[in-house]
Structure 1
Amino acid sequence: MQLTNEHINYISKDIQYRGIVDDNLGEELLDHICSLVEDKMQSGMRFIEAYDEVIKDFGNEEKLVSLQSQTIQYSNNNTKIMIRNYFKIAIRNLVKHKFYSAINIIGLAVGVACSLLIYLFVQNELNYDDFHVNGNNIYRIERYGKINGNEFKYPTGPAPFGFTAVEEMPEVEQAVRFRNRGTYLVKTPESNESIKEDRLTFTDSTLFDLFTFKVIEGDKRTALIRPYTVAINKSTADKYYPGESALNKTLIMDGNESFEITAVFEDIPSNSHIQFDFFMSMSTIQKEANNNMWLSNNFYTYIRAADGVEKEDLALKLSDFYGRKVEPQLKEFLGVGLEEFAASGNEVVLELKQLEDIYLKSDFIFDIGKTGNQQSVYLFIAIAIFILALACINFMNLSTARSANRAKEVGVRKALGSYKSHLVRQFLTESIIMSLMSLIVGFILVITLLPFFNLIAERSLTIPFGDPLFILSVLSGAIVIGVIAGIYPAFFLSSFKPINTLKGKLAQGAGSSILRSSLVVFQFFISILLIIGTIAIQKQLNFIQNKKIGFNKEQVILVNDTYMLGDSRETFKNEVTQLGNVVSASYSGFIPINGYNRNDNVYWKKGLSPDESNTISTQMWNVDSDYIPTMGMELIEGRNFDKNIASDSNAVILNEQALRVYGFNPGDERAIVTYSYNNNTGAVLSDEFEVYHVIGVVKDFHFESLKENIGPLALRLGNSTGVMSVRLSTNDFSNSVKQIEDTWKKVGAGLPFNYHFLDDKFAKMYAEESRLGVVFGIFSALAIFIGCLGLFALATFMAEQRVKEIGIRKVLGASVNSIALMLSKQFTLLVLVAYFIAIPVAWYGIDLWLNSYNYKISVGAELFIIAGALAFLIALITVSYQAIKAAMSNPVDSLKSE
């Protein structure tokens, strides 16, 4: 006869009344007394009679209190002995159950290794630009808005902004600008060979005052004041002047400009979004730097705010300041003030971005340096959490599933006087030991895999073994993981009643446990999410690579720095076009991929007076007459440029988008107009105009990332000789490159030959997405592997628990297939539940990620069907091996002990 809850509550209150106040002893004593009372009630005694008999067997209250005192004293005096025993027993259990221990250690080790790699990656991403003194007060001025329906966002602004703000606003203490002008060929006066350098920028003399870049030679206050001076980093100094000081030496830029080295600074840390080897004096380009055009957009501008100035207040004051400076020029060129400008639906919004936010929170077509992706960081953090959760779930599942095997151990320990708390500590000790062992294996994996991870992710991550805080954090993390993984099994196992476990009343296997089923569902929920995410990323990357982009990027070589050939440029082009494998060649620095020349300006349709409603920001590219055929673009209306027609010097070919936004109607005179510039000062002339007649229309082509919409663009017959594009008729690239290089060496003796393939440069626009896809796929595979390890071990254990049932079924005629199906059915049902839970979550996540692309895949049912099929296949393969093995076993072996 079993006790009711009312009986148990009565006993609990009574033993407390008798003086048992120690929680551990009280719980164990309650369990023991209840078992004894149940035994006496089996013989026909009433509850109260049975309870009185049991209490008499114990003695009076004094003996109970004495027992309590002795137990507490024994427990306190034997703590060290018990801890030593915990470790001994834990090691023995790990060795005794090698298979399950190995599964848990491997799963946790892979989880720890993945989490450590992700931790190093995330820490590196989050710590960008954190080394600058007063970094919290440093901001970059950015702008975004909409003009005449065309949206824009730029990390750059007008030349006078920063220093005018310093002069007129007490809230702004200092400013510095950067102006990138592309690549340079650099050499020393003594050298005949130039080296192509692309990490150069013009900047102001306040650079080293605003940013914490350590100058090791020269005076940082005066280094960049004079024109044609340059500060270089230590690596560059050693490259051009090895074994000697580079200070006050000379570098020749592009063959004819001499720069004096006035400072040498330490190499900029890798966790800086500003990465340059050469800082050239801004006063060298004085005409451009002193331009007073507030509507221009060429300079990266950083400011340092005074202490105590809040970002929001400063942004408002800077916006007002900017508006006061811009309005006179708006009135001069468009005939409207700010109110009329805004009333027409236009806006220009000023934004301050804190220095430490620039790397992760910038999303511009062009930027001063490499930027990261905040979504990727959050994604990897989620993956790390998921992987650790999967590893911990494996441990919990196996521990609770194997509870029947340890039930009698628990019963014996309790019967011999062990507290529940002792058993909890015992099981947690096993879990923590396993976690620490996994940490060691995980560190070995990280050390082995880190070089490959750095290669894939294009990072230079290292393990900070010399950082005590890191080591302490990792050890603490391992202990926490051990506690998290082991806390439920510890309380679950230690809660068994000794009377039941010793009588064999505990249900074997607990295969229908709701908790364990929920954990398996969660594991495959995560696995299915990762499978769907991996497939979606790969589909989007394939879409980008294979989408028709309006030009033919295949079989095109880009020969760089052709401007250095000077008067020999045409000779080089003519000789290259005579080569057998060359179809055509074209000079233009305007290439339809990120990283090449861009030139936007405002234009309006001829016949209109410029105002805020009809001026359109348009890209104007200088190209030659061979550009369209070389790039494989399609001319859908009109004709191409002809250099023999004089009027073509003022002709343009528009793309379809430009034709649409200008609103040309049939019969209209197709021409666009813009302001003229003063050639000496660069100032805009509001009363002089340039007119360009439209002679053709080219089919729309993508000239930026597919994250951006195609904007209005005009091609103009002009001089831009930085790059020569060469279209080949063959896939014999090595021989073709060799022929072009030989021609280069013949025409441009002493100049370095530098080239790229257009399709490679196109692919690099999506390098970050490609790396994300690879890394995401690897971590997803590892997460699925951990989940499968747990499922495999769980299936193995469940097969072991049902071995006699399987033997009986086989004796009664059950087939191998039916038994395998029976053992697999439970797990496949759980995968099905996980699948239907994962679908809406995955759809939402993919849709959120794809929102950053204007051109993207459609998320159809096939994506989820493929992912579901893969998940079922993985689960089936994982479980089927053990199911078939158990089904094919000899029933004689399983039944002979019966």
Structure 2
Amino acid sequence: MIRNYLKIAWRNILKNKLYSFINIFGLAIGLTCFLLITLYVVDELSYDRQFKDAERIYRINSDIKFGGAEQRMAVSSDPFGAILKKDYAEVEQYVRLYANNSRRFIKKGNEFLVENNCLHADSTLLDVFPLNIIEGDSRRILTEPNTLVISQTAAKKYFGNASALGKTLTIGINNPIEYKITAVYEDMPSNIHFQTDMFFPFKNINDYKFDNFLNHNFYTYIKLRKGVDYKEFEKKFDVVIDKYILPQAKVFMDINSMEDFKKGGNYLKYSLTPLLDIHLKSDRIYELSPNGDIQYVYIFSVVALFLLLIACINFMNLSTARSANRAKEVGIRKVMGTQRNSLIIQFMSESVLTSYLAFMIALTIAILLIPYFNDIAGKQFTIQSLFQVQYLPFLILLPMAVGVLAGYYPSFFLSSFRPIEVLKSKLNANYRRSNFRNTLVTFQFVTSLVLVISTFIIYRQLNYIQNKNLGFSKDQILVVTGTSSLRDNNHVFKEEVKKMAGVKNATFAGFLPVANSSRTDNTFSKEALFNTQNSFNMQAWEIDEDYIPTLDMKVLQGRNFSKVFSTDSSAVIINEKAAKMIGYDNPIGKKLYINNGNINDVKALTIIGVVKNFHYESMRESVGPLCFRYGKSAWVTAFKINTDEPQTLVKQIEAKWKTFAPEIPFNYHFMNESFDEMYRAEQRIGTIAMVFSLLTVFIACLGLFGLITYIAEQRTKEIGVRKVLGASVWSIVQLLSKDFLKLVCLAFLIASPLAYYAMNIWLKSFAFRTEISIWIFLGAGVVTILIAIFTVSLQSMKAALMNPIKSLKSE
């Protein structure tokens, strides 16, 4: 019986090639998108889940508002974890990660290689994050200074196929240290919120004053015991603040209690983020790596479902629209005694067969598109990613589910025909109009228009970001990293390059207003005696006298640093935000005070300039208070260039580098690349939204094409009669097209407020954002309507131009 159903279904597919192609091709596109987006969503949701007891691991966050400056940080102070474990039985274990010294020069043969993602970790690392140790004793890792734990990739990189255990690596150029490798771990999967190939022990962190609750530089993770409610445990942090942090605060500030601190409009809060929420639900500053966004996961999931649903709607529409063609078949079979259930199974078999054919095509397309999808989504999927064992039931059942979904309504609709009405040809009066079919067409175009409008707004925001006055110049800025490795020659290198044709200026720039650059904040005061009323936190960057002119920043009041003034070592330049927060009408010549952790060790700094506000974080963040101090942070050197052949200039600079340090690799990038990296997620969203919006419009128009083609066929004789009676081609095109165009216009009216609501929420995540203009909606509507008109008119025109003699000759 099943074989017979499938045979009839196959014959019906071959008999109606155009409609079968539209159904199969539309479903294939929907299924392809669904498969790729499912890969993305599953990967995003899988972050950090491979760790044992991941649901009991939490990161400690810091929320600080002091003197008007607010910070939501992913880091906490170094003793916080140890104190929690000592004082509270709920804490099973803790581990700290330290990333401030993440770049290391490592000697290999006669040259040095750069490792950019090195981390320091406690010896308790494996108790919280149980990495798979391939070589070495997992119980003794990171317990001794000058030891190292490396990944499998790093081991192969430096030692080939030989065992790395017990061998040494020379790390550092100025003060090289021999590190002994005590363990090798299996490479971390890509779906972990931090990535590194090397762990260093905490005993090798130099020049840091430990046991300081007031410095927040450590990523601290705690593992709570089973059954502990982390929200209840968070309430104990207030006790920790009063017991440990307040006494240290009194050392450098006149403060009696945390209540005094809060009365000044300040706050200090600590909270826990579940490990499984870090990647998708944490948007704090100083994250270990760029995180995803749960909103985008929701959006992509909905888009995937809608794309698949739109393809299924095409199947429903065409199946019900072609009901007249199948009506006599149904009538005859019912007269011959066929039960309705058998007819439902028959039509459902056709739907499922169509779905499986579409799914085979979709799998092929998905496999071919994986490399391109990786580029768009920033992932590393392979063909094997699609065929993992746990996904096989999903791959087998998905086309079955799609077939049932697409064929459910047509099967019951077609099988419901009454034999007498069908055989007397009384059914044909109803084929033209179907409220259900019109609703489905409207839904298709509502979805398409929401995506098209959203894409326009996303690209408008990205264009706004790219063209907004940032307060500095990011274009034609060449950034050479690792220049501190040149030691005493770094200044000579800077000056030599500065003399080259095409180089306008140069500066040491360890701090840059782009992602992955150094950041540091300090506590300042308007008075020598620090208290909660006159103190505040702000960023403090060390720059040289060339920094401001190289980045084209604007000094609004006062002057820049200068070698001429020896007093500039005790001077400071502040931004507009800091000047406004301090409250001086003319801050030039006024004093700011900074201490070294002791209320009696205070240094006075003279304000010599005010620089125009510039965006040193993402535009999701407001511009905060910042000051420059005179110094040299030489890890990075930035060059302002002006040339039409930047790569030629880069080669000249690299040649100069080799004269100073032939054994050290030359690394560079352009500043606008780093700026773009800050908005890589938004750019990916824009690209994906554009692709999906085009696909939804295409699939919807594919359905329209099928419907108008079928209706034109059904009304062939009517069109012939109208033409014989003098109807024009244009009037016939209007006759066939107007109902569909009404549906598209209705979809526009429904989609516009939905898109406005959704994108208004999205734009609120940016402190600086574009306006949502009415022209965006009108433009998206006009484009979509024109595409629909073209699709409908294409077949309408063909039907209208048909010779009426051919359509009426049988009469």
TM-score when normalising by structure 2: 0.97
Report the Cα distance in structure 2 between the residues aligned to 1:605 and 1:99, rounded to whole angstroms.
79
- Does structure 1 conserve the Cα–Cα contact (< 8 Å) formed by 2:588 and 2:607? no
Counterpart of 2:303 in 1: which secondary structure?
helix
- Residue 502 of structure 1 is matched in structure 2 by 423
How far 1:329 moved relative to its partner? 2.5
Letter in 1 for 2:555: L
Distance in 1 separating the partners of 2:106 and 2:159? 10
Off by >6 Å, runs of 4+ in structure 1: none
RMSD over equivalenced CA pairs, Å: 1.5
User: After the TM superposition, which residues 603-642 of structure 1 pair with which residues of structure 2 at under 5 Å, given as runs?
Assistant: 603-606=524-527, 609-642=529-562
Q: CA deviation at 1:270?
A: 1.2
For the 8 Å contact 1:138–1:304, the answer to whether it is kept is yes
Match of 2:215 among 296, 301, 313: 296
Contact 2:280 2:293 (C-alpha < 8 Å) held by counterparts: yes
**Among residues 582, 601, 605, which one is paired with 2:522 in the alignment?**
601
Aligned pair in 2 of structure 1 residues 667, 284: CA closer, same or farther (>3 Å)? closer
Q: Which one of the candidate residues 103, 108, 121 is aligned to 2:40? A: 121
- Aligned residue type for 1:883: S
- In structure 2, how many angstroms separate the alpha carbons of the residues matched to 1:128 and 1:544? 30
1:490 to 396, 411, 414: 411
Query: 1:209-241: CA deviations, max 9, x gaps?
Result: 211211111112212111121110011000100
| Equivalent residues in 2 for 1:70-89, closer than 5 Å | 81=1, 83-89=2-8
- Between the aligned partners of 2:20 and 2:495, the Cα distance in structure 1 is 73
Task: Measure the CA separation in 2 of the matches of 1:295 and 1:250.
Answer: 36
Instruction: Give yes or no for the alignment of 1:231 onto 2:144.
Output: no
Q: 2:26, 2:699 within 8 Å by CA — same for their partners in 1? A: yes
Structure 1 position 185, deviation (Å): 4.2
Deviation (angstroms), 1:286: 5.8
| 1:146 corresponds to | 65
Q: CA 1:652–1:89 in 2, change beyond 3 Å: closer, same or farther?
A: same
Q: Is contact 1:184-1:254 (8 Å) kept?
A: no
Q: Return 818-827 or 112-121, whichever deviates more.
A: 818-827
Comparing 400-409 and 336-345, the one that deviates more: 336-345
In the alignment, the residues of structure 2 paired with residue 665 and residue 444 of structure 1 have an alpha-carbon distance, to the nearest angstrom, of 68
Work out the CA distance in 1 between the residues paired with 2:222 and 2:156: 32
> What does residue range 52-67 of structure 1 map to in structure 2 within 5 Å?
none
User: For residues 65 and 572 of structure 2, what CA distance do their matches in structure 1 show?
Assistant: 25
Deviations 1:785-836 (A, max 9, x none): 1111111111111111111111111111111112112211111110110000
Deviations 1:77-136 (A, max 9, x none): xxxx3x232112111111111110110001111111110101111000001111111111
Equivalent-residue separation in structure 1 for 2:412 and 2:749 (angstroms): 32
C-alpha contact (below 8 Å) 2:557/2:588 kept by paired residues? no
Q: Which residue pairs with 2:803 in the alignment?
A: 890
1:810 is aligned to 2:726 = no
Which structure exhibits the higher relative contact order, with contacts defined as CA atoms closer than 8 Å and separated by 6 or more residues? 2
Match of 2:436 in 1: 515
Q: Give per-residue Cα distances to partners, 1:434-481, cap 9 Å, x unaligned.
A: 111111111111111111111221211234465444222222221111
Distance 1:760 1:510 in 2: 58
Q: Tell me the amino acid that sits aligned with residue 200 of structure 1.
A: C
Distance change (3 Å), C-alpha of 1:469 and 1:560: closer
Distance across 1 between alignment mates of 2:436 and 2:756: 27
Distance 1:294 1:845 in 2: 42
Which of 684, 688, 693 is the aligned partner of 2:601? Answer: 688
The residue aligned with 1:735 is 648
- Trace 1:454-465 onto structure 2 (pairs within 5 A): 454-462=374-382, 463-464=384-385
Query: How far apart, in 2, do the equivalents of 1:170 and 1:119 lie?
Result: 41
Give the SS at the match of 1:735.
Answer: helix
* Residue aligned with 2:286, SS: coil
| Shift of residue 509, structure 1, vs aligned partner | 6.2
Decide whether aligned partners of structure 1 residues 831 and 182 sit closer, same or farther in structure 2, where only a CA change above 3 A counts.
Answer: farther
Secondary structure of 1:302's aligned partner: strand
Alignment of 1:443-462 (within 5 A): 443-462=363-382
Is the CA contact (8 Å cut-off) linking 2:453 and 2:780 kept in structure 1?
yes
Asked if 1:704 is matched to 2:617, the reply is yes
Question: Is the 1:236–1:277 contact (alpha carbons within 8 Å) kept by the matching residues of 2?
Answer: yes
Report what 1:30 is aligned to.
Answer: none
Residue 465 to residue 592, structure 1, CA distance change in 2 (3 Å): closer
Q: Give the superposition deviation at 1:206.
A: 0.8
1:196 is paired with a residue of what secondary structure?
A: strand
**Residue correspondence of structure 1 range 406-445 to structure 2 within 5 A:** 406-445=326-365
Aligned AA for 1:103?
I
Of the structure 1 ranges 744-753 and 857-866, higher mean CA displacement relative to structure 2 is found in 744-753
Contact 1:605 1:662 (8 Å CA) reproduced: yes
1:317 is displaced (CA, Å) by 2.1
Map of 1:769-808 to 2, 5 A cutoff? 769-808=682-721
The one-character-per-residue Cα deviations of 1:373-395 (angstroms, maximum 9, x if unpaired) are 11111110010110011011001
Q: Which residue of 2 aligns with 1:747?
A: 660
Shift of 1:183: 4.6
Alignment partner of 1:768 is 2:681: yes
Q: Decide which of 300, 318, 321 is 2:237's aligned counterpart.
A: 318
- Give the distance between the partners of 1:214 and 1:722, measured in 2 at CA: 34
Q: Does residue 399 of the first structure (1) align with residue 319 of the second (2)?
A: yes
Consecutive unaligned residues of structure 2, counting only runs of 5 or more, are: none
The answer to whether the aligner puts 1:551 opposite 2:455 as a matched pair is no
Q: Given that residues 336 and 611 in structure 1 are in contact (C-alpha distance below 8 angstroms), is that contact kept between their aligned partners in structure 2? A: no
Deviation at 1:177, TM superposition (A): 0.6
Return the offset for 1:748. 2.1
Q: Tell me the secondary structure at the aligned position of residue 584 of structure 2.
A: coil
Q: Which moved more, 1:344-353 or 1:638-647?
A: 344-353
CA contact (8 A) 1:114 1:384 kept: yes
Contact kept, 8 Å, 1:557 with 1:727, in 2: the verdict is yes
The alignment of Structure 1 onto Structure 2 pairs a total of residues equal to: 807
Aligned to 1:346: 266
Deviation of 1:644 (Å): 2.5
Separation in 1, partners of 2:587, 2:68: 25
Aligned counterpart, 1:306:
225
Q: Contact 2:69–2:538 (CA<8 Å) still a contact in 1?
A: no
Q: 1:795 to 1:319 in 2, by over 3 A?
A: farther
SS at 1:620 equivalent = strand
Determine if contact 1:143/1:157 at 8 Å carries over to the other structure.
Answer: yes
Q: SS state of the match for residue 833, structure 1?
A: helix
Instruction: Compute the displacement of 1:483 (Å).
Output: 0.9
Residues 723-780 of structure 1 deviation map (CA, whole Å, 9 limit, x = unaligned):
1110112232012111111111112231111111011111111111111211221122
Q: Which AA in structure 2 matches 1:89?
A: I
How far apart are 1:668 and its partner, in Å? 7.6
CA–CA distance in structure 2, aligned partners of residues 614 and 418 of structure 1:
90
* Pairwise CA distance, 1:287: 5.5
Decide whether the 8 Å contact of 2:482 with 2:635 is kept in 1.
Answer: yes
Tell me by how many angstroms 1:321 deviates.
2.3
* Counterpart selection for 1:212 from 116, 120, 130: 130
Q: In the alignment, which of 448, 454, 460 is matched to residue 533 of structure 1?
A: 454
Residue among 304, 309, 312 paired with 1:389: 309
Per the alignment, residue 166 of structure 1 pairs with: 85
| Residues 1:285 and 1:556: Cα distance change in structure 2 (over 3 Å) | same
Structure 1, unmatched stretches of 5+, are 1-80, 677-683
3-state SS of the aligned residue for 1:298? strand
Once residues 626 and 13 of structure 2 are traced to their aligned partners in structure 1, the CA distance between those partners, rounded to angstroms, is: 70
Say whether residues 1:187 and 2:106 are aligned partners. Answer: yes
Counterparts of 1:353 and 1:454 in 2: how far apart (Å)?
29
Matched residue type, 1:633:
M
CA shift at 1:860, angstroms?
Answer: 1.2
Deviations 1:816-863 (A, max 9, x none): 112112211111110110000111110000011111101111001011
Cα distance in 2 between the residues matched to 1:535 and 1:201: 41
Find the aligned partners of 2:137 and 2:3 in 1 and give their Cα distance. 64
* Counterpart AA for 1:324: K
Deviations 1:29-81 (A, max 9, x none): xxxxxxxxxxxxxxxxxxxxxxxxxxxxxxxxxxxxxxxxxxxxxxxxxxxx3
* Mapping of residues 263-302 of structure 1, within 5 Å: 263-285=183-205, 288=208, 291-302=210-221
Question: What secondary structure, in the 3-state scheme, does the structure 1 residue paired with 2:65 have?
Answer: strand
- Structure with larger Rg: 1
Counterpart residue number, 1:592: 513
- Sequence identity, in percent? 43
Partner of 2:257: 337
